Amino acid sequence: MMTSLFDGRLAPLTFSIGFLDAPPEEVAAVLVEFFTRVHDGGRATELGGSLEENLLELPPLTIGSQPKVLLASTALDGWTAMFEGDALGQGVAQLTGLLASQLLKVRGYFVSSVPPAGNSGGPLGARQFHMLGPETKLGYVRTVELIENNPGRWYFEAGGEVQPFEDVEAYGSRRRRDRFTEEMLAGYAAAVGLRPWDESFYRNPSYLVTNAATIRYPFTLGQARARLGLDG
């Protein structure tokens, strides 16, 4: 089972995706208010392109700042998908948690699928499923994660309240990579109504939310991919 949007050709933009139980226009308004407060400026522009076209509005990719966020409607009525241009592909995690737990106070999810590093010199692999919401101080209701610490060496961790759809028996597998497989990650997402790696799941209206954050270490998509060894 593939857990890669657009066959990975837009990674790292598609390594991680946030989801929020609120329509995109509401998320956009809250983000503009938040960015205006913390970055002295925020603006939302409606986009009418395909998801791929809209994702290509996110570069330059950055490290240490968050100047652009893409919001897309989804086939799950009333839910918004969120992407952003972190050059390492993980930046949307913190923002999704903040929106779910504090700014919007709604159910949210964060999913991440990064292929194993192997011999490519690319980023270390990851499979992550976070259930988020205002129930806890930091927003983490349930987390299941498989993280590659070094090439070929994995760390598994699960925390919070076990959900009915989880394959808890797999968590005891001898081989760590078998404790949270791609199939399990896709299955958990499907169990809550999400199809993160299916292009047809995403709809318009979409919004590009920008702010006045200082852009540090800018990269084109091609430069970011080369830096991560994704084109090798």
Share of the chain above pLDDT 70, in %: 97
Return mean pLDDT, the chain. Answer: 93
Q: Over 70: is that where the pLDDT of 119 sits?
A: no
Q: How confident is the model at residue 59, as a pLDDT?
A: 96
Using one digit for the tens of pLDDT, what is the confidence trace for 138-185? 899 999 999 998 887 899 999 999 999 999 999 999 999 999 999 999
CA dihedral 178→191→103→218, nearest 10 degrees, is: 50
Domain regions of the chain by residue span: 5-227
Q: Over 90: is that where the pLDDT of 123 sits?
A: no
Q: How confident is the model at residue 137, as a pLDDT?
A: 81
User: CA–CA distance from 31 to each of 17, 39, 205, 220 (Å)?
Assistant: 16, 11, 16, 24
Share of the chain above pLDDT 90, in %: 80
Q: How confident is the model at residue 115, as a pLDDT?
A: 87
pLDDT band at 118 (very low <50, low <70, confident <90, very high): low
Strands 126-132, 108-114: pairing kind: antiparallel
